[in-house]
Chains A and B, each alone.
Chain A
Amino acid sequence: MKRPTRKNLALMLLLVFMLTVVAGCADKKEESQTAPPAAGQELLVGFIYVGPPGDAGWTYAHDQGRKYLEEKLPYVKTIFQESVSEGADAERALNELAQKGCKVIFATSYGFMDSVIQVAPKYPDVVFMHCSGYKRDANVGTYFGRDYQPRYLSGLVAGKMTKSNEIGYVAAYPIPEVIRCINAFTVGVREVNPSATVKVVWTNTWYDPAKEKQAALSLIEDGCDLITQHQDSYAAQQAAEEKGVLAIGCDSDMHPFAPNANLTSPIFNWGDYYVRTVEQVKNGTWKSGDYWGGLEDGIVALAPISDKVPADVKQNVAAQETGLKEKKFDVFKGPVKDQQGNIKIEAGQTMSDQDMLALNWFVEGVVGTIPAQ
């Protein structure tokens, strides 16, 4: 009796496969029926992500923006490509989205910059928006948030919460954007705790959870009792959670992934900006330029602060946040010294946007080096 049962099993498997194919056909029909009738009015918007939307950090924040965009503007349909490496593949992805009919393409990682500049001239009718870069063209604009502002606020928390006075910083690439955030964070830390230092470890990747976690663990071994990061995943937060130390996330609210360790996260809210930009393209009012919005625009913010943080610390953060929003002061206000103790910003002076965008030195209190010039 054994053999016939096996035969039946094989037949059943075959049946399942066939049903699957049939189900596939059925799906197709259904889809075409529910397609929006006003296809001519539809505006296709493309996104290119450096990591997966499930990273719960950088790409997640952009993907939330994409969903918000679809929700707010009914005529918008979005498509995206995730985990596109910053190199040869970015050009392929940009071309593909443009050829699929996207009218606006958001390229959401610094390393896509040259690829955008290469591809954009081939599609003069498509608007390319590159996040965090500085190269523009007739149909290429750039945008970013002043993430150093909430970084500074998170530093105010970190400085008060560290006990060992050693804070670990897991950082991606030594580019100005990351250096700026490290500096802003350190300025915040030292404003409330002048004896604390911030140790930096480079990973040379935006998204590599294993590497990020390893870097965080090595910092904890080294005596850091608070870990923060400029990485796309929450791996460093989890390292802190496991080791029972504190952590500050970034890009998205990472509290759910390290409920005991995580104190807060400097975050991005891209949604409103994506809606504004797509509306401009739709109305024909879009012009190439650079947008660099701060706390007052809501494009950057500090995620809710954990209950572990004392009320007076929270009050101080709130006060500084209001000050930054009302432009009463800047994060980088003189006197600011570099690691060697040289005064880089004189008392009464602030750092210009131009200097911030090319930032290439660490402030006093940072332990670590920027790779040789």
Chain B
Amino acid sequence: MPFHLVRRQESGMGIRIMVPLFSVLLSLLAGAVLLWLYGHSPLIVYESMLKSAFGSYYGFSETLVKAIPLMLAALGISLAFRMKLWNIGAEGQIYMGAFAASGVALAWGQWSAWVLLPAMILAGMLAGALWAYIPGVLRASLQVNETLSSLLLNYVAILWVDYLVLGPWKDPKGLNFPLTPRFTENATLPTWGDSRVHLGLLAALLLAVILWVIMRRSRWGYEIRVIGESWDAARYAGMNISRNIVLVMALSGALAALAGVFEVAGITHRLQHGLSPGYGYSAIIVAWLGRLNPLAIVPVAVLFGGMLVGGYSIQTEGVPVSIALILQGLVLFFLLGGEVFLSHRLARNDKSEVEG
């Protein structure tokens, strides 16, 4: 190779904007080749993708609908990742949040919305916190790898919800289809106009700001960041690492669970099989691309939501769903691959090295 990577002295604002921009551009070009090979016009497809995700009132509202759960789960994930705790369990925490909120909604549906909705939110966050508490405690006390334990608990949570909607919580009028009865009006979140954008958006934005302030301005946020940089240094400084592991995991789970609460209360209005199309996993990418910064996660989640909506929409141009998925994968591939150029740059090898 005539080139090698050199660590950058510093990565300025210009680099941090240019690298992702260039990555996206490259992914679009690679996608164009693919579309062209499949006999589609890349320009028409990209235009339709962009238009349907951001160019119309309805399209943009659906982009936001997708962005809300991504935002919330990514916020939770970013908190844990900050401390180098690899919480891969957001998907399961979403399901547990949806489960607990649905339980409250189905049991006390006649309560006033002012009591019922906060109760659903509390129950959901508590369930998510408890679900994430398990890998947290296992990590803090027994050094069990939280990546695996949190991931495996996802399947438990998803199957638990499946059990409920196929069995005890099944809608008696649903003719055995795996869903619960519809929630009462009191258990549903208000939406913006005739769109499906619900109150969860405000909550997510608010939480992003709060989390940012906590991380940047509070003593506890400082602790988390120090632990994330070096466990040894933190221990030396007298910080309680075990307690923080458990606490951060639980909070992370509670935030992800909120995505599940809002999904049932705002969108589906019932608990059902296949509630989340993998928001908990996509949110890991969102958190990462947002550089674990709560404020950056917001726009990244919106862009990611747009990519999902746009990807579906180009089907009406005759592009098969699998091609749309490849296009989405390409964008992520190039973005994540480009990360290395934020901290490194290409340098030409010395002539003697190459020819030698």
Collect the chain B residues with CB atoms within 8 Å of residue A100's CB: 316
Assembled-state Cα–Cα distance A372/B168 (Å) = 8
- Are B312 and A92 touching (Cβ within 8 A)? yes
Q: Is A285 an interface position by the 8 A CB rule?
A: no
* CB proximity to B under 8 Å, residues A161-201: 173-176, 179
* CB proximity to A under 8 Å, residues B262-281: 263, 267-268, 272-275, 277
Collect the chain A residues with CB atoms within 8 Å of residue B65's CB: 88, 92
Assembled-state Cα–Cα distance A177/B41 (Å) = 42
Using a Cβ cutoff of 8 Å, how many contacts connect chains A and B? 120
Smallest CB–CB gap between B355 and chain A, Å? 8
Stretch at the interface among A18-26, A214-222, A227-235, A321-329: A18-26
Collect the chain B residues with CB atoms within 8 Å of residue A16's CB: 33
Q: Which of A2, A52, A92, A179 contacts B320 (CB 8 A)?
A: A52
Q: Is B172 an interface position by the 8 A CB rule?
A: yes
Assembled-state Cα–Cα distance A20/B35 (Å) = 9
Q: Is A64 an interface position by the 8 A CB rule?
A: no
Smallest CB–CB gap between A110 and chain B, Å? 7
- Are A21 and B32 touching (Cβ within 8 A)? yes
Q: Which of B42, B58, B178 contacts A24 (CB 8 A)?
A: B42
Q: Which of A23, A87, A93, A370 contacts B36 (CB 8 A)?
A: A23
Interface SS of chain A? helix
Quick one: CB contact mask for B8-33 with A, threshold 8 Å, 1 for yes?
00000000000000000000010011
- Are A80 and B275 touching (Cβ within 8 A)? no
* Known contacts A24-B36, A28-B44; A82/B320 CB under 8 A: yes
- Are B41 and A27 touching (Cβ within 8 A)? yes
* CB proximity to B under 8 Å, residues A22-67: 23-25, 27-28, 31, 46, 52
Assembled-state Cα–Cα distance A285/B318 (Å) = 30
Q: Is B252 an interface position by the 8 A CB rule?
A: no
Q: Which of B41, B166, B175 contacts A28 (CB 8 A)?
A: B41
Collect the chain B residues with CB atoms within 8 Å of residue A92's CB: 62, 65, 196, 309, 312
Quick one: CB contact mask for B28-65 with A, threshold 8 Å, 1 for yes?
01001101100011111000000010001011001001
- Are B176 and A176 touching (Cβ within 8 A)? yes
Q: Which of A27, A52, A358 contacts B321 (CB 8 A)?
A: A52
Smallest CB–CB gap between A247 and chain B, Å? 26
* Known contacts A2-B2, A85-B277, A373-B172; A20/B42 CB under 8 A: yes
Q: Is A280 an interface position by the 8 A CB rule?
A: no
Interface SS of chain B? helix
Assembled-state Cα–Cα distance A93/B277 (Å) = 15
- Are A204 and B166 touching (Cβ within 8 A)? yes
- Are A175 and B176 touching (Cβ within 8 A)? yes
Collect the chain A residues with CB atoms within 8 Å of residue B313's CB: 96
Quick one: CB contact mask for B295-323 with A, threshold 8 Å, 1 for yes?
00000000000000100110110101110
Q: Is A308 an interface position by the 8 A CB rule?
A: no
Assembled-state Cα–Cα distance A6/B310 (Å) = 36
Q: Which of B52, B166, B175, B273 has the most CB of A within 10 A?
A: B175
Smallest CB–CB gap between A207 and chain B, Å? 12
* Known contacts A96-B52, A97-B316; A85/B274 CB under 8 A: yes
Instruction: Tell me the count of chain A residues lying within 8 A, CB to CB, of chain B.
Output: 50
Quick one: CB contact mask for A300-336 with B, threshold 8 Å, 1 for yes?
0000000000000000000000000000000000000
Smallest CB–CB gap between B254 and chain A, Å? 22
Collect the chain A residues with CB atoms within 8 Å of residue B178's CB: 173, 204
Assembled-state Cα–Cα distance A372/B170 (Å) = 9
- Are A24 and B274 touching (Cβ within 8 A)? no
Q: Which of A2, A17, A87 contacts B274 (CB 8 A)?
A: A87
Smallest CB–CB gap between B60 and chain A, Å? 12
- Are A20 and B166 touching (Cβ within 8 A)? no
Collect the chain A residues with CB atoms within 8 Å of residue B273's CB: 204
- Are A82 and B321 touching (Cβ within 8 A)? yes
B43 to A, closest residue via Cβ: A24
Assembled-state Cα–Cα distance A135/B150 (Å) = 41
Collect the chain A residues with CB atoms within 8 Å of residue B29's CB: 17, 20-21
Q: Which of A31, A110, A111, A370 has the most CB of B within 10 A?
A: A111
* Known contacts A31-B44, A82-B315; A372/B167 CB under 8 A: yes
- Are B320 and A17 touching (Cβ within 8 A)? no
Assembled-state Cα–Cα distance A32/B263 (Å) = 41
- Are A370 and B2 touching (Cβ within 8 A)? no
Smallest CB–CB gap between A113 and chain B, Å? 8
Q: Is B177 an interface position by the 8 A CB rule?
A: yes
Q: Is A277 an interface position by the 8 A CB rule?
A: no
Q: Known contacts A79-B318, A96-B52; can you find 7 more A-B pairs with CB under 8 A?
A: A21-B43, A23-B36, A25-B43, A27-B44, A92-B309, A100-B316, A358-B175
